[in-house]
Amino acid sequence: MLAEFEMIDAVEPPVCGGPELVERERELCALVTLVAQIRAGSGGVLAIEGRAGAGKTALLDVLAESSERAGALVLRATGAELERQLDWGVVRSLLDGRLGDRAPVPHVLLSIVSELAAARPVALIVDDHHWADAASQRWLAYLINRLAPMPVLVALASRPASGRPEWQAVVARPATTVLSISDLSPLGTARLVHDRLGTVRRGVSEACHHATGGNPFLLCELLAHFERRGERLTRPRQVQGIRPESVRRAVLLQLAQLGAASTDLCFAVAVLGRDATLTLAGELAGLDRAAAVRAADALSGAGVIRVDERLSLAHPLLHDVIEPEIPPAQRADWHPRAAGALISAGAGPSRIAPHLIATAPDQRPEVVSQLRCAAREKIAAGAPEAALACLRRALAEPPLPAELAGTLLELGEVEAVLVERGASEHLRAALELARVPAQRRRIARAIRGLAAPTLPGADEFGREDYAGAQRQIADALEGSAASGSRRARGLALCAGAELQLRLGRNRAAVADARAAASIFIDEPLVRALALCTLAVADGSLGPLERAERLTREQPVGPIRARVLLELGAALRRQGRGLEAGRQLREALDVADRCAAAALVSRAREELRLLGARPRRTRLSGAEALTPGERRVCRLAATGSSNREIAQALFLSVRTVETHLTHAYQKLCVNARADLAAALEAELDHSTSKSSSPGR
């Protein structure tokens, strides 16, 4: 009978090119052995166990192809959930009409297989054995015990199901080859990602493995999602929140096959997250203990959840697929119940907060208290983004009047740390409401930090101690990584850009400045400083012009002075003298007002290079007045008329009018009656500066 076939050692190896066959070398070797076995005239049994998507069908495909190439007759069938009640359904599909009018009784079916095997080896392959009807499962077990004299291979694939006696009867046989396939390792995932996408950035394959748990089906569908969209997968963050439609359909079909109880328990696990105990999940799903156990076993067998001390979805990708499918009314009911159960169990605020955030605001003081406590825990753990979500939800509750200032303060501080829009608004609102002196001082410090940001290493820059500045910046970067503070990281990058610029490392300065500018999108002052450094490093004018516009809201300050100075210098180098002079004179004025001596000196030097001879540092205020304007103003402030001033100073009336017009512009007054107050205020300011220590 077997003379027409080749010898065992000539068996061709199976084709191994499919993505589902990564890390399946041992299994493929077992398939070669089994095909050779039936060619030699012996029967064989193969049982493949694995979770949904692990690659069972891919191995059966390889087995079918290898068997056909070896000359065997391959007969295949697949179990289906909706056909489980149809007796003999899988057997009829497997024998493909060969039963005819005969009744499907075991000995008749056995004789059909014997007749087929008398002509050539036979491979009977059944996928999804767990969905096969009971009659077909019993007959397959009957056949397996009678294979010895026939060259017949029976190959079955099933999800793990320790409670099914028909399957246990198969895998318990000593002669059965059992292949338990698992998900891919991180290395296997990296191999598959490389095979599909080529070389990718560090962290991409790790993100794919985390999202899919190494499940080959989920991994292939995740990669196919990007391929179908024509989108290159270059950053780990792109993987987050992806919800391929093919995976969604497969998971929902799986849940429908498992039944309503399993679906509800799965939804409860998704809602509870890491707090999903069997008891709590069962209570939310409305299941008694026995029903919850059965549902959990079914979900675990299907590879949807993991059952350890707690229940959890098998892969993060499954959470992204399942969570949006939970009916809104069900979710709205379950989150408050989950929060209440956790509070009763003595859980900490951080565990309760996700459920409170998902509830609707309802003026409950205890919710505000829990969320504020959770925010403090998150900040201490270096997770300010999570703290921000807690505090925004607490403000929406809303807090009681006595708690409102504290809530606004904490929210504003976290928003400042994360460079979020609204920080200044919330801090100023808190200052208006606060009555406790210590709290008001804390709020004032936070507001000053926004208005006048301090770069790490600022003192060292002033002393030109660049090694010390580098240490300060490195410490600041390390601290920002531990605390999760985007503000601290952005300020450190800004300082790093300035350091690199002073050391002549312009390329590194550009990189740091761009990174800092991207962090401070909604904070104009620091963004302007980063853009200024960027422009100086790469010699471009555009970033300086944007920085000048960003600083107009704070017309007096060292950052504004620096921006105007660098813009004026850049315009001078381009030969645009008129525009440069205007910017440099304003830079000199602003630098002098904020006592930035180094900037004053540089502005004077730039003006001299332009050919100007600045006699005064100020463009406005009493210090900007010429001696003649000052004498006219003093007489006008005492009530003298223009004619009287002209006679007293031996000037024409027209000259007096011209001096007064210029003085009004510099002092920002509109009438003679305002002159006395303006001159007095400027005198007080000058006196206080001259009497300050160190001047």
Contact 240, 206 (CB under 8 A): no
Residue 8 reports pLDDT greater than 50: no
Reported as type and span, the H/E element at residue 156 is strand 152-158
Q: CA-to-CA distance for 119 and 113, rounded, in angstroms?
A: 10
Question: pLDDT tens-digit profile of 311-356?
Answer: 988 777 777 788 888 888 888 888 888 888 888 888 889 889 989 9
Residue 373 reports pLDDT greater than 90: yes
Entry pTM: 0.59
Q: CA-to-CA distance for 622 and 525, rounded, in angstroms?
A: 28
Higher per-residue pLDDT: 97 or 518: 518
Contact 593, 556 (CB under 8 A): yes
Whole-number pLDDT of residue 272: 87
Whole-number pLDDT of residue 154: 94
The SS3 of residue 422 is coil
Question: pLDDT tens-digit profile of 559-612?
Answer: 888 889 989 989 988 888 889 888 888 888 888 777 777 888 888 888 888 887
Residue 5 reports pLDDT greater than 60: no
pLDDT-based confidence at 123, cuts 50/70/90? very high
Q: CA-to-CA distance for 666 and 622, rounded, in angstroms?
A: 7
Higher per-residue pLDDT: 292 or 481: 292
* CA dist list (Å): 624 to 42, 568, 588, 617, 666: 108, 20, 11, 7, 7
The SS3 of residue 78 is strand
Residue 239 reports pLDDT greater than 50: yes
Whole-number pLDDT of residue 18: 53
Question: pLDDT tens-digit profile of 390-424?
Answer: 999 999 999 999 999 999 999 999 988 888 888 88
| Tokens linked to 403 | 């708690």
Contact 46, 156 (CB under 8 A): yes
Residue 9 reports pLDDT greater than 50: no
Whole-number pLDDT of residue 411: 94
Q: CA-to-CA distance for 543 and 497, rounded, in angstroms?
A: 15
Q: CA-to-CA distance for 539 and 534, rounded, in angstroms?
A: 8
CB atoms closer than 10 angstroms to residue 25: 10
Pairing mode, strands 73-78 and 44-49: unpaired
pLDDT-based confidence at 4, cuts 50/70/90? very low
Whole-number pLDDT of residue 388: 93
| Tokens linked to 265 | 């328990």
Higher per-residue pLDDT: 261 or 593: 261
Residue 43 reports pLDDT greater than 60: yes
Average pLDDT, the chain: 83
Whole-number pLDDT of residue 424: 87
Whole-number pLDDT of residue 11: 42
Contact 304, 314 (CB under 8 A): yes
Residue 6 reports pLDDT greater than 50: no
Non-local (6+) Cβ contacts of 106 within 8 A are 139, 142
* CA dist list (Å): 217 to 226, 231, 255, 314, 554: 15, 20, 17, 13, 57
Non-local (6+) Cβ contacts of 544 within 8 A are 531, 532, 535, 563, 566, 567, 570
Above pLDDT 90, what percent of the chain? 22
Contact 76, 125 (CB under 8 A): yes
Q: How far apart are the first and last CA of the chain?
A: 112
pLDDT-based confidence at 7, cuts 50/70/90? very low
Q: CA-to-CA distance for 425 and 443, rounded, in angstroms?
A: 12
Maximum average pLDDT range among 257-261, 338-342, 427-431, 632-636:
427-431
Higher per-residue pLDDT: 571 or 684: 571
pLDDT-based confidence at 618, cuts 50/70/90? low
Helices and strands in the chain: count of H runs, count of E runs: 34, 7
Q: Tell me, what amino acid is at 486?
A: R
- Mean pLDDT across the stretch 15-23? 61
Non-local (6+) Cβ contacts of 615 within 8 A are none
Whole-number pLDDT of residue 229: 76
Residue 256 reports pLDDT greater than 70: yes
| Torsion on CA atoms 39, 45, 50, 53, rounded to nearest 10 | 40
Residue 537 reports pLDDT greater than 60: yes
| Torsion on CA atoms 597, 598, 603, 608, rounded to nearest 10 | 100
Closest CA to 55 of 218, 204, 165: 218
Spell out the alpha helix ranges (H) of 259-383.
260-272, 278-285, 289-301, 316-322, 328-344, 349-357, 365-380
Q: CA-to-CA distance for 675 and 659, rounded, in angstroms?
A: 13
| Tokens linked to 271 | 């809602």
